[in-house]
Amino acid sequence: MQNVTLNNGVEMPVLGFGVYQIPPEETERAVSDALAAGYRSLDTAAAYGNEEAVGRAIRSSGIPRQDLFVTTKLWVSDAGEEKAARAFDTSLRKLGLDHLDLYLIHQPYGDVYGSWRALEALRGEGLVRAIGVSNFHGDRLVDLIDHNEITPAVNQVETHPFHQRASDQALMRERGVQIESWGPFAEGRNNLFSHPALGGIAAAHGKSVAQVVLRWLVERGVVVIPKSVRPERMAENLDVFDFELTPDEMAAVAALDTGESLFFDHRDPAMVARLGTHVLGD
């Protein structure tokens, strides 16, 4: 496994396992299968409702804690300095861990500055090794950096062949923030898995389209957390370190960029209202 080095020296696997939209009752088995396949980085969130199942899989795996990189996220309804600190404690308890490797502000809404002060304090206390954000556009990211002591180590954003975030990645690199992809396969939208350009590249390397997409992200220096509930797909998604894309192939993927989200715009007022008022448990 290749690692990236975050802005505070912490090393993070470039490829991990995400559990978004895996039902809690299926998560323990899925994470156990992922760990057995060789994944050592796990990404969950309070909003996913499956932190406890992730924790059970970690404990039953027998893998030493120092060999794992565990990420979870703070939801909007827990924004603010005091509430964020309490929410972190809740997530840590549900996961059954004594520290996290990465803790992210999940959405750029609510009392982001109060939340960030809480995260800075948690890092100072050694309860989390690195702190970061998710779904922050460049303006929000720069504003947070310029008015706080600690620069986010990671910004997890929608990144896939149809929404490539090249300019966002350049800004993050300039500011010392690691880009991390959610939705690397765009949930199959735009016929990603049968796309002729991606299929041609896959055939040239004897790989799948999914492997080509993951390899393309890795070669760009993007951390990625694909999700699957099928052990054979988990293994396939890990098997991307034995080939490289040519410059022409990288350019062919680059040509697929639409520059727009395939999911939703985090600056859309209706979506801001929807996400910003959603309370966990609702």
> Per residue in 36-88, pLDDT tens?
999 999 999 999 999 999 999 999 999 999 999 999 999 999 999 999 999 99
Which is higher by pLDDT, 212 or 279? Answer: 212
Which is higher by pLDDT, 274 or 49? Answer: 49
Percent over 90 (pLDDT), the chain: 92
Beta bridge mates, 188:
none
Return the DSSP state at 105: E
Identity of the residue numbered 10: V
pLDDT of 40 reads 98
Active-site residue list? 48
Identity of the residue numbered 211: Q
pLDDT of 264 reads 81
Say whether 77 sits in a helix, a strand or coil: helix
Beta bridge mates, 12:
4
pLDDT band at 115 (very low <50, low <70, confident <90, very high): very high
pTM of this prediction exceeds 0.85: yes
In the chain, the largest separation of any two C-alpha atoms, in whole Å, equals: 54
Give the chain's mean pLDDT. Answer: 96
pLDDT band at 274 (very low <50, low <70, confident <90, very high): confident
| Spatial contact of 224 and 181, defined as CB atoms under 8 Å apart | yes
Percent over 70 (pLDDT), the chain: 99
Across residues 250-258, what is the average pLDDT?
A: 96
In order of their start, the domains of the chain are 3-276 (3.20.20.100)
- C-alpha–C-alpha distance, residues 1 and 17, integer Å: 13
pLDDT at residue 169 greater than cutoff 60: yes
pLDDT of 280 reads 83
> Residue 86: CA atoms inside 13 Å, Cβ hemisphere, count?
7
pLDDT at residue 231 greater than cutoff 80: yes
